[in-house]
Amino acid sequence: MDHVVVTVNGMARPLPGVAAHTSLLDALRDLGLTGCKEGCAEGECGACAVLLATADERGGAEWTAVNACLVPVAAVDGQEVVTSEGLGTPAAPHPVQAGLAAAGGSQCGYCTPGFACSMAAEFYRAGRAPADGASHGGNGEHGPNGFDLHALSGNLCRCTGYRPIRDAAFGLGTPEPADPLAQRRARPAPEPVATRLGADGARFVRPASLDEALRLVRDEPDAVVVAGCTDWGVDVNLRGLRAELAIAIERLPELRELTVGDASLEIGAALTLSEIGRRLSGRVPLLDQVFPQFASPLIRNRATLGGNLGTGSPIGDTLPALLALEARVVLASVDGERVVDLADYFTGYRTTVRRSDELIRAVRVPLPMAHVTAFHKIAKRRFDDISSVAVAFALDLDDGVVASARIGLGGVAATPIRARATEAALYGQPWNDEIVSNAASVLGSEGTPMSDHRASAEYRALMLESALLKLHRTHPMASEEVPA
Amino acid sequence: MSELAARPANPVVGVPMPHESAAMHTTGTAMYTDDLAARTDGVLTAWPVQSTQAHAHVLLDVRPALEVPGVVRVLTAADVPGVNDAGVKHDEPLFPSEAMFHGHALAWVLGESAEAARLGAAAVTVEYEALPSIITIAEAIEAGSFQGISPTVQRGDPAAALATAPHVFTGVTEIGGQEHFYLETHASLAHVDSEGQVFVECSTQHPSETQEIVAHVLGVSSHRVTVQALRMGGGFGGKEMQPHGFAAIAALGATLTGRPVRLRLNRTQDLTMTGKRHPFHAEWTAGFDDDGRIVALETTLTSDGGWSLDLSEPVLGRALLHVDNAYFVPDFAAHGRIAKTNKTSQTAFRGFGGPQGMHVIEDVLGRVAPALGIDAATLRERNLYAPGQATPYGQPVRHAERLRRIWSELRESSDFDARRAEIAEYNAAHPDAKRALAITPVKFGISFTLTAYNQAGALVHVYKDGSVLVNHGGTEMGQGLHTKMLQVAATALGLPIESVRLAPTRTDKVPNTSATAASSGADLNGGAVKAACEQIRGRMAAVAAGMLDADPGDVSFADGRVSAHATSDRSYSFAEITQAAYHQRVQLWAAGFYRTEGLAWDTARMQGQPFKYFAYGAAASEVEVDGFTGSYRTRRVDIVHDVGDSLSPLIDLGQIEGGFVQGAGWLTLEELRWDETDGPGRGRLLTQSASTYKLPSFSEMPEVFNVHLVEHAAEDGAVYGSKAVGEPPLMLAFSVREAIREAVAAFGPAGHCVELGSPATPEAVFMAIRAARGAGAVVRKAPRSDVATARTTSQPLVASDT
């Protein structure tokens, strides 16, 4: 096939004119579906949010909100997309649209279609149920209808101040039985299709199998391997990068497994962070702390651990956590697999030991995990921001003594790093004010933080120090250990 | 009550209703300028060649761009048939030979696609001959680099008053800028129609000025150019002056190629090319008596105007007029000047200098309260204007009693005293987290200080079937102006709102309009729409009087029926009367005009009555600050605000809440960082994307948000007794900054004066917490008899913010 076909709002739309780099956003707008807006072109604002039918864990489909600006339209070849226009019309609005309008949830209206799509995804979420009051009481982030406000944290509005949007979300009921999008969930999501788009110098290929993918990366060392495109999409849109060949691997089944063994937990590199969170269902408390702070659902619905590891950014929020968990990286090539300690994986700023002929297949987390874990992210904004500093702790306390200490840091060096001097300062020592205070000073001198537009070097160092003090304050003694 | 302010029985104004386009917004069917481009065949895309130096002579070679497949043409200065200037001050060459800031557009490439135009722009070679650059206000002050006027507002003799004041404080306040970050970036779409008319669709708050600039660039008369502003995806002042040049580029491209040309800035271009809220630097000296009453204030405000004047002069003027905020300052002097720097040309932004002016006095009060030993809320209340007092520029503060009424209502509705006691308990029990509740007032002057702008026009058509079409000169940017105008027209004609439709704003319907700005949209255009409707209603009343055997003055229009009290057994539908009027050859359309009466402003002396009235409000905000990181949450906000008698309560509520959060963003989160080094990137905006420039998200929404409109607040000088609402609520957000300041103070010893960066980012807050924790006991409240001691003691307490 040399052109992409996407089912948009229930209608198959052949897209003969699109290029390998064309975003889903631009393709939709060229179809006249201009409800989808470009607000930032880097997945921060959500004005381009649309719904994508993805596989749920029970063989059906779910409506997943994604940023259309980041996803190459070629990556959704054969898939089903719903835009704000497909949700409802002015004469017959969808419940989320009617609710938003009535609450005063739109002013200029430019962000509104994206909000409607993010809100619809949460409206249709299978697990959404009225809160019991006890578990969600007080934080204001869950509505009485079970609506999780985090579902909207990747959508920015400059006009309303958000209160009416929240009220609209919290006022939603449940889908009617006859709701076609609700019914659609009962059938399987579209299968991945092998895609070959473009000509020499600008191709997009989705290999049909892992073998084919491995041969491709062996034969095409300059190819860009893409999964969720939450980083690559930014390079395309903001930095004008174009790949001679982009190889999409996020639908390969071998990269989408999650297995729990006796000695380790293996997480497929191409599972999205949202999928991982759901499928781990609390098995890795540290990751449960990371995910809600990682960008936004619109990003987490596409972003993968493989992507975080592949780009090797020093501020990828999962990496400090994986370092603290002493994770290992499973690299696959046509010659077989090798396993590398994550601590040895990074070689420099956005460089790693991964060879160009290798794919990241999975991440292995050794079991059992440490008992005391915590993730501290320092950013200007609580939702939907990038870390200036991230600190992940994994400690075991045995009778008031630090039996093991693993600390991963982001944002303080060219790569994510382990805070080994601090770990040494804690190991074997009593978990008391004096030791922690001294270790916090050591932590404050780890890495080589820089000053930039996010934070000063001084503040970054101080935040490292604060993180350990705060951990100690929230976990004062072994006998009082509680999940953070 | 005046005829302008009086409402009929059961008016449509005052009824809460959603935005008139809400159903289209939510379903993605509301069209914006660039959405039209997606529906236009054969459209070319314009892409800028941007300077990579802050200040340099430039020499362009555009030939390589023409080699790029899909590039149609490159626009340069040689192509301009008219005036090569994009502004009204003639200091903004559209195609410059001297790059004045990093990101300055030097030429524009037209391509068959955005990709072709982008690659074409990248192919243009630019030779730079570097010139010295000035990036910061401090550098400008050092170099004496200023532009435009340097006015002073003065009353009394502040120097003499300060010399004898019991307590004198001096300090410097640095105030950050702010990016508008309208979700819709600048966009224009131009084509030349079959009659040679240049038709420009433009996301502009000021269509008439866009039209004038397009005309002068093209070297044609205004009547050959029509500008339409369908709706904007946010404006906030950023589309008052800044769209003109972009519209001119699109129009120039269309005239030269004969094809439609679209120009839509991407986010990076918008951030690096367009003006922002002015950063300010303020030096101040303030004197207080023992009771905390301000006796004198002298301040010098230096704004960062960027590379050209744009609206910097009136922004500075409004800043000087708002240094007093809601407080009576007997002896007062505020001097202003505009730095000229090699940065984007800073421009209008919601509040238009008012926020920066108020920032000075709110910073003074928040900083010195502990030194005076007076609780900040008490200090503020004690200094509020009282009836009979006038501003430093000589305008009586009409309805000053309303300010105090709001203050006491708010203290009550927010349960202020009880919550403060709870907070004290919480703070005593939590060494690592502190809460605070702060209350601040707003008094904001309504009218353009450029008096000529206080006029508006409307064109109202009533068709034979009784349906009504309204055109007016105001633009819709999300603020709900069109919703209010529909309500005004329906009220004036006694019709249900469904009978009235609003047509997009365009310059061939209503000419010579003012910018939709200064919160004035509803006041001015509402006056004009009402005037037009009333002319028509008057003519229809004469017709109806004949049919009802009644006196025309007795005819009433309500709910789509026309009747007369004297013959109340009979009535006609509105459409029956229009039919009859048509057959009697009665004109069923009218142009309405409105101008604000009673303004008298002497710009040279900075004295007089620049404002029709003041909008008042107050906010009480509670925050919790984390001692480990400096991060904070806004736990609860209570607002009491004066919108007169609201034209549209749901719209006004949205303006208040949205303005507040936007103001909180400016004061606590949004940070513009520029490369101030001498390196190769000097002058480059470092925060040039949504991932580096952070505006408020859901996490900044106050967890509890209570807004009350002042009741029975009819304003006699505005349409149907309403007041302007667009800008004033933004400044209610000072309550958040002051609450953060007080929470930071709670980490330190009593009496510690907190200096807080602006914006008060988590980093700035954390640094302030460190200073508070490190502070020793502080000398409290110097005695009156010991003036000299007080003066010397107070100096170091309030040193520079920098």
Residue B211: band (very low, low, confident or very high) from pLDDT cuts 50, 70, 90: very high
**pLDDT, tens digit (0-9, with 9 covering 90-100), for B85-138:** 999 899 999 999 999 999 999 999 999 999 999 999 999 999 999 999 999 999
Most A-contacting residue of B49, B186, B673, B697 (CB-CB within 10 A), to test interface: B697
Residue A314: band (very low, low, confident or very high) from pLDDT cuts 50, 70, 90: confident
pLDDT at A3: 84
- B230 contacts in chain A (CB < 8 Å): none
The token pair that represents A66 in the structure block: 């994604």
Using the 3D structure, point to which of A191, A207, A233 is the last residue of a domain.
A191
Dihedral (CA of B226, B229, B235, B237) sign: positive
Residue A483 scores a pLDDT above 50: no
Residue type, A43: G
pTM of the model: 0.96
- State chain B's mean pLDDT as an integer: 95
**pLDDT, tens digit (0-9, with 9 covering 90-100), for A448-457:** 999 999 999 9
Report which secondary-structure segment, H or E, holds A84.
helix A84-87
Residue B270 scores a pLDDT above 80: yes
Residue A2: band (very low, low, confident or very high) from pLDDT cuts 50, 70, 90: low
- The interface predicted TM-score (ipTM) is 0.96
**pLDDT, tens digit (0-9, with 9 covering 90-100), for B24-39:** 999 999 999 999 999 9
Q: Identify the bridge partners of residue A359 per DSSP, sorted by sequence position.
A: A332
Query: At what angle are helices B354-372 and B376-383 packed, to 10 degrees?
Result: 120
Contact, B245 vs B239, CB < 8 A? no
Q: What SS3 state is found at A443?
A: helix
pLDDT at B48: 98
Ramachandran region, residue B309 (left: φ > 0; alpha: ψ -120 to 50; beta: rest): alpha
Number of independent structural domains in chain A: 2
The token pair that represents A262 in the structure block: 């006796």
Residue A23 scores a pLDDT above 50: yes
Q: What SS3 state is found at B76?
A: coil
CA distance A218 to A210: 12
B431 by Cβ neighbours in 10 Å (0-12 / 13-18 / 19+) ranks as: exposed
**pLDDT, tens digit (0-9, with 9 covering 90-100), for B580-616:** 999 999 999 999 999 999 999 999 999 999 999 999 9
Of B592, B602, B457, B611, the closest CA to residue B519 belongs to B611
With a pLDDT cut of 90, the percent of chain B lying above it is 95
Residue B679 scores a pLDDT above 70: yes
β-pairing, A401-410 with A389-398? antiparallel
CB contact under 8 A, A380 and B694: yes
Residue A384: band (very low, low, confident or very high) from pLDDT cuts 50, 70, 90: confident
CB contact under 8 A, B762 and A378: yes
CB contact under 8 A, A102 and B18: yes
- B234 contacts in chain A (CB < 8 Å): 107-108, 110, 158-159
Dihedral (CA of A469, A474, A475, A476) sign: positive
Q: What is the mean pLDDT of residues B647-661?
A: 98
- B183 contacts in chain A (CB < 8 Å): 37, 39, 45, 47, 108, 110-111, 156-158
Residue B800 scores a pLDDT above 50: no
Higher pLDDT, A156 or B795: A156
Q: What is the mean pLDDT of residues B471-491?
A: 98
Residue B517 scores a pLDDT above 80: yes
Q: In chain B, which residue's Cα lies nearest the Cα of A47?
A: B183
With b for 16 or more beta-carbon neighbours within 10 A and e for fewer, the B694-721 pattern comes to bbbbbbbbbbebebbbbeebbbebbbbb
Q: Identify the bridge partners of residue A397 per DSSP, sorted by sequence position.
A: A402
CB contact under 8 A, A101 and B689: no
HSE (CB half, 13 Å, CA atoms) of B611?
23
Q: In chain B, which residue's Cα lies nearest the Cα of A108?
A: B478
CA distance A136 to B399: 46
CATH of residue A482's domain is 3.30.390.50
CA distance B382 to B377: 9
With a pLDDT cut of 70, the percent of chain B lying above it is 97
pLDDT at B796: 36
B389 by Cβ neighbours in 10 Å (0-12 / 13-18 / 19+) ranks as: middle
> Looking at the domain assignment, is residue A216 inside a domain?
no
Q: Identify the bridge partners of residue B436 per DSSP, sorted by sequence position.
A: B623
pLDDT at B566: 77
Provide CATH code, domain B22-29+455-595: 3.30.365.10
Cis? peptide before A368, omega within 30° of 0: yes
Contact, B365 vs B170, CB < 8 A? no
Q: What is the mean pLDDT of residues B416-436?
A: 98
> Looking at the domain assignment, is residue A254 inside a domain?
no
DSSP per residue, A310-365? HHT-TT-THHHHHHHTT-EEEEEETTEEEEEEGGGTEEETTEES--TT-EEEEEEE
Residue B799 scores a pLDDT above 80: no
pLDDT at A200: 80
Q: What is the mean pLDDT of residues B451-455?
A: 95
**DSSP code for A369:** P
Residue B438: band (very low, low, confident or very high) from pLDDT cuts 50, 70, 90: very high
First-residue to last-residue Cα distance in chain A:
51
Ramachandran region, residue B412 (left: φ > 0; alpha: ψ -120 to 50; beta: rest): alpha
A131 by Cβ neighbours in 10 Å (0-12 / 13-18 / 19+) ranks as: middle
* Partner residue facing B183 (CB), from A41, A47, A238: A47
> Looking at the domain assignment, is residue A206 inside a domain?
no
> Looking at the domain assignment, is residue A54 inside a domain?
yes
Q: In chain B, which residue's Cα lies nearest the Cα of A119?
A: B26
pLDDT at A130: 80
Residue B790: band (very low, low, confident or very high) from pLDDT cuts 50, 70, 90: very low
In angstroms, what CA-CA distances link B347 with A336, B278, B304, B605?
Answer: 61, 7, 10, 24
* Partner residue facing A153 (CB), from B657, B671, B697: B697
Q: How far is B687 from chain A (nearest CA, A)?
A: 7
Instruction: Starting at the earlier edge strand, list the strands of the sheet with B632-641.
Output: B433-446, B613-626, B632-641, B704-709
> Looking at the domain assignment, is residue A121 inside a domain?
yes
Using the 3D structure, point to which of A172, A191, A210 is the last residue of a domain.
A191
**pLDDT, tens digit (0-9, with 9 covering 90-100), for A84-128:** 999 999 999 999 999 999 999 999 999 999 999 999 999 999 989
Cα dihedral: A385, A386, A389, A391 (round 10): 80
CB contact under 8 A, A90 and B24: yes
Provide CATH code, domain B352-448+618-775: 3.30.365.10
Provide Rg for chain A, Cα atoms.
Answer: 23
CATH of residue A101's domain is 3.10.20.30
CB contact under 8 A, B654 and A89: no
Residue A185 scores a pLDDT above 50: yes
pLDDT at A139: 61
Residue type, B511: P
Domain of A78 in residue numbering reads as: 1-191
pLDDT at A55: 96
Of A109, A111, A105, the closest CA to residue A49 belongs to A111
> Looking at the domain assignment, is residue A46 inside a domain?
yes
> Looking at the domain assignment, is residue A297 inside a domain?
no
Q: In chain A, which residue's Cα lies nearest the Cα of B661?
A: A161
CB contact under 8 A, B28 and A107: no
**pLDDT, tens digit (0-9, with 9 covering 90-100), for B748-770:** 999 999 999 999 999 999 999 99
Q: Which residues contact B646 (CB under 8 A, 6 or more apart)?
A: B14, B652, B709, B722
Domain limits, chain B:
22-29+455-595, 352-448+618-775
Using the 3D structure, point to which of A139, A165, A191 is the last residue of a domain.
A191
DSSP per residue, A249-302? -TT-GGGS-EEE-SSEEEEETTSBHHHHHHHHTTS-HHHHHHGGGSS-HHHHTT
- State chain A's mean pLDDT as an integer: 94
pLDDT at B247: 98
> Looking at the domain assignment, is residue A436 inside a domain?
yes
